[in-house]
Structure 1
Amino acid sequence: MKSACFRLFSATCLTLAAIGSAAAGSTAVRVGLVNSSSDVGFLIADKKGYFREEGLDVAFTPFDSAAKMVAPLGAGHLDVGGGSPSAGLYNAIARGISIKIVADKGSTPTGYGYQPLLVRKDLVEGGRFKTLKDLKGMKIAGSAPGSASTSTLNEMLKKAGLKTADVERVYMGFPQHVLALQNGAVDAALTTEPSATRAIQSGVAVKVLGDDEAYPDHQLAVVLYSGPFAREKSEAARKFMRAYLRGVRDYNDALKDGRLVGPGSDEIIGILTAATPLKDAATYRVISANGCNPNGKVHEASLKNDLQFFKDEGLIQGEVSVEQAVDNGFVEAAVKELGPYARRNGQ
């Protein structure tokens, strides 16, 4: 009996030692998030263990906007970031700071307008707002100066013959947009999901234009790699992309007609409700889902249009191009290993 107990104790110790060794052998990866619905690929890869299978120990840190990730990414304090490709990002690259756009995180193919233009319901019902031309003089909430969503607003204003100077732009985190609409601090907002649907469901705002209608295939959010991560931990960077794309593909499998109502959507919604402040599964079924390329590549034509807008706004200092900012090597390597995306079950 004593011998058996000793063998059991020894086996248990060996098992724990092996687990400890595996944990010690994993590579830590620090990832910045913006608490937007486009974080979904990261969250799925984390919850379903895809990062762990690659030997990665991923830790998430929230930010108000991707613009605030640029400094820690440039300093190597973050390995990966996820958010809007901003003027600040291009300025950092122009100064020689090594940060790369490496994958799609959120885009707007037709039917996937996840950052719509909202106008306060009282302004619509009171006749103050009837057409896009009525945006003139209004206070419009956005995420941050020089973010991709400012280019979205520009495209919407152009449809009404307006310019960005014709409106007052107010910047705050997306979850704050709902409160700002409720208390009348702003007249309209360009808000990502799920905040957009929450504003509509609360009766405070009306959706007047989808960003997929105003700016189809807009590259609203991207995955960013810091230079040190891409260069000095290149194997971990390749593993991260493989795991991330597996998460994105699971997400795409669960989509149907621009909503999370396809095969496997229950599991994906369960991951989202567990990992985000929004705990209402029903809301996730009605929000406009973001697009995300299951083969990873970004829409470079959109990035070029945004960069030109930033230049026209006087926000870019120095010479920089989209080609300098984008590195497709990691998604190309991942797709070569995973194969091109094919929707499961022939859906």
Structure 2
Amino acid sequence: MRKAIARLKARTVSALLAVMLTAGLPVAAFAADAVRIGYTKNAGDAALYIADARGYFKAENIDVALVYFDSGARMVAPLGTSELDVGTLPGSAGLFNAASRQINNRIVADRSRSAPGYLYQTLMIRKDLIDSGRFKGYPDLKGLKMAVAAPGISILSVVNEAMKKGGRAYADVEIVFGGFPQQVAGFRNKTIDAAIMIEPFATGIVASGDAVRFISTEDFYPGDQFTFLVYGERFATARTDVAKRFMRAYVRGIRDFNDAIDNGRWAANARGEEVLAIIAKYLELKPEQIKASYPHACDPDGDINLDSMRKDLAFFRQIGEVTSKDIKVEDIVDLSFVHAAVRELGPYKPAN
């Protein structure tokens, strides 16, 4: 009974807020709902930055707090204990393993992915290996030290696809772990040979002359689903109305982000410049630094590439990172929130 009353109150408040916002009336009388978001402070969180900067969360009476993590994989546990409400995570063995222990964090929307013409995530090779002829193509990945951001994440599956492209096995490359800033230092100090790197780090290391952008991961792993927006179980089930309002704001941010991109590059217009300024502010960089880098792809309706997730799950099982034989991709994905938001907001209409 108490849950039913709480749901009725939440719906009533939500309806009143919608009426007041439509009429342009102040909503300060209603205390904003606090939402704690885990983020890794890179350009992949652009939709969140936009939604925050442009007041989309405030319009839904939500007060967001961004909590920094050095790796998205580290957010799995605090999401499960409700220390975080929302996280921005890569695909990981941890998400599947948590679900097998009845920790039901939910992947709810797209955050970043690969697509034709996008160079956000690339296979980087140390420049001196290119110059010397040691590295000429995919088969030469054998024996190299390949850096990835963290253990147990889907980039390991991306490495596997690169090795298969060259007729090699996953075991033929030496994996070393380190965050993207550490990878930059590793190329400079010649302690790593290759990396699957994202922006703006990739553009920065190319500019320094320490590494070469060999090829986009789209070449050997088309449609790779890099990262997701994830809800903690309690946020999705006990604060459902807040979770729905959060998603509306997030989808508006995704769509603004897409409107700032033109054929895989930042649009050379006011929309592009405004979004670059927002991202630069949150990353504490200059807009010119962001503009020189490549944006990621993100579905304007927040949909997920489930086939990419299935490929990654099969790989995690292959290397023993996921031992449950019963867990499925569908067990950790809940697109009901984003689909509801899209129905309410209407079809995406590109500005470009």
| Correspondence 1:1-347 to 2 at 5 A | 22=28, 25-263=31-269, 264-277=271-284, 279-318=285-324, 319-344=326-351, 347=352
Write the distance in 2 (CA, Å) between the matches of 1:23 and 1:171. 49
**In structure 2, what is the Cα distance between the partners aligned to 1:341 and 1:133?**
42
Shift of 1:24: 6.4
Q: Secondary structure at the match of 1:102?
A: strand
Post-superposition CA distance 1:37-62 (Å, at most 9, x none) = 21101111011111111010100111
Aligned identity (percent) is: 43
- Change in 2 beyond 3 A, CA 1:23/1:33: farther
Query: For structure 2, which runs of at least 5 residues remain unmatched after alignment?
Result: 1-24
Q: Does the C-alpha gap of structure 1 residues 42 and 23 become closer, same or farther in structure 2, counting only changes over 3 Å?
A: farther
Q: Residue 144 of structure 1 contacts residue 172 of structure 1 at CA under 8 Å; is this kept in 2?
A: yes
- Quote how far apart the aligned CAs of 1:143 are: 0.9
CA separation of 1:98/1:23 partners in 2, compared to 1, >3 Å: closer, same or farther? Answer: farther
Give unmatched runs, 5+ long, in structure 1.
1-17
SS in 1 for 2:67: strand
Give the SS at the match of 1:116: strand
* Cα deviation code 1:284-307 (max 9, x no counterpart): 223221000110110111111111
Alpha-carbon distance between aligned partners in 1 of 2:29 and 2:94, rounded to the nearest angstrom: 36
In 1, Cα distance between equivalents of 2:30 and 2:340: 27
User: How has the CA–CA distance of structure 1 residues 336 and 262 changed in structure 2, closer, same or farther, with 3 Å as cutoff?
Assistant: farther
d(CA) in 2 for partners of 1:231, 1:43: 25
* CA RMSD of superposed structures (Å): 1.5
Separation (CA, whole Å) in 2 of partners of 1:173 and 1:49: 31
- Displacement, 1:282? 2.4
Tell me the distance in 2 between the aligned counterparts of 1:78 and 1:233.
Answer: 13
User: What is the rounded CA distance, in whole Å, between the counterparts of 2:29 and 2:55 in structure 1?
Assistant: 14
Distance 1:76 1:261, change over 3 A: same
**Partners in 1 of 2:85 and 2:257 — Cα distance?**
23
Give me the whole-angstrom Cα distance separating, in 1, the residues matched to 2:207 and 2:217. Answer: 19
Give the direction of change, closer, same or farther, for the CA distance of 1:133–1:23 in structure 2 (3 Å limit): farther
| Structure 1 contact 29–57 (Cα < 8 Å) conserved | yes
Q: Are the equivalent residues in 2 in contact too, given 1:119–1:207 (CA < 8 A)? A: yes
CA distance in 2, matches of 1:23, 1:304: 46
Structure 1 residue ranges, 4+ long, deviating more than 6 angstroms after superposition:
none
What is the alpha-carbon distance in structure 2 between the residues aligned to residue 232 and residue 112 of structure 1? 38
For the residues of structure 1 that align with 2:57 and 2:177, how far apart are their CA atoms?
34
Alignment size in residue pairs: 326
Deviations 1:100-156 (Å, cap 9, x if unpaired)? 000000011111231101011111111111111111111111011221111111111
> Is residue 113–residue 213 contact of structure 1 (8 Å, CA) maintained in 2?
no
* Alignment partners' CA distance in 2, 1:248 and 1:316: 31
Q: TM-score, normalised by structure 1?
A: 0.91
CA distance in 2, matches of 1:140, 1:23: 54
Counterpart CA distance in 2 for 1:133 and 1:343 is 41
Q: Please list the CA deviations of residues 274-331 of structure 1 after superposition, one character each: whole Å capped at 9, or x if unmatched.
A: 1104x23223223221000110110111111111111111110323100111101001
How far is the alpha carbon of 1:85 from its aligned partner? 1.4
TM-score of the pair, normalised by structure 2: 0.90
Contact 1:66 1:85 in 2 (8 A): no
Q: Tell me: CA distance 1:144–1:201, structure 2 relative to 1, closer, same or farther (3 Å).
A: same
